A = this chain, B = another copy of it.
């Protein structure tokens, strides 16, 4: 894989945010640096970076989101503001459990918890 300034920029943009951005968000950011960058280029490089293990992809409802954090982790999704927060749950036991109970060889565990984040709590609850 040879160098391209487009791919470098796209990787930078993903790695500089915690917002779990969509392809379109990344595209708009990228246009500020390379005004004629193509959306196809963004998608192609995001897939490529994912294949190379540089970034992660997951799906929020029916749209793809990109994550610089390649270490296994889980997500909290706020139903009010849409924010997606990284969390680490202790699910070391889960793989063993599903192997034992369901004879299923787990490779990837994806946990998304939706609800209401602390920004929307009133004083009483705080």
Any B CB within 8 A of the CB of A54: no
Which residues of chain B are within 8 angstroms of A59 by Cβ–Cβ distance?
Answer: 59, 61-62
User: In the complex, what residues of B have CB within 8 A of residue A121's CB?
Assistant: 103, 105
> What 3 A-B pairs have minimum CB-CB distances, sorted nearest first?
A103-B118, A107-B115, A106-B115
B89 touches A117 (CB 8 A): no
1/0 per residue, CB under 8 A from B, across A19-60: the answer is 000000000000000000000000000000000000000010
Shortest C-beta distance, A74 to chain B (Å), equals 9
Query: Are A105 and B110 touching (Cβ within 8 A)?
Result: no
Contacts of A68-89 to chain B: CB distance below 8 A = 76, 78-79, 85, 87, 89
Within the complex, which residue of B105, B112, B115 is in contact with A116, where a contact is CB–CB below 8 Å? B105
Choose from B76, B85, B105, B112 the contact partner of A115 (Cβ within 8 Å).
B105
Of B87, B94, B116, which contacts A113 at CB under 8 A? Answer: B94
Q: Is A63 an interface position by the 8 A CB rule? A: yes
Nearest to A104 among chain B residues (CB) is B76
Instruction: Please determine whether A108 and B98 come into contact, CB atoms closer than 8 angstroms.
Output: no
CB-contact partner of A112 in B85, B105, B110, under 8 A: B110
**Do A114 and B107 form a contact, CB below 8 Å, given A59-B61, A62-B64, A89-B94?**
yes
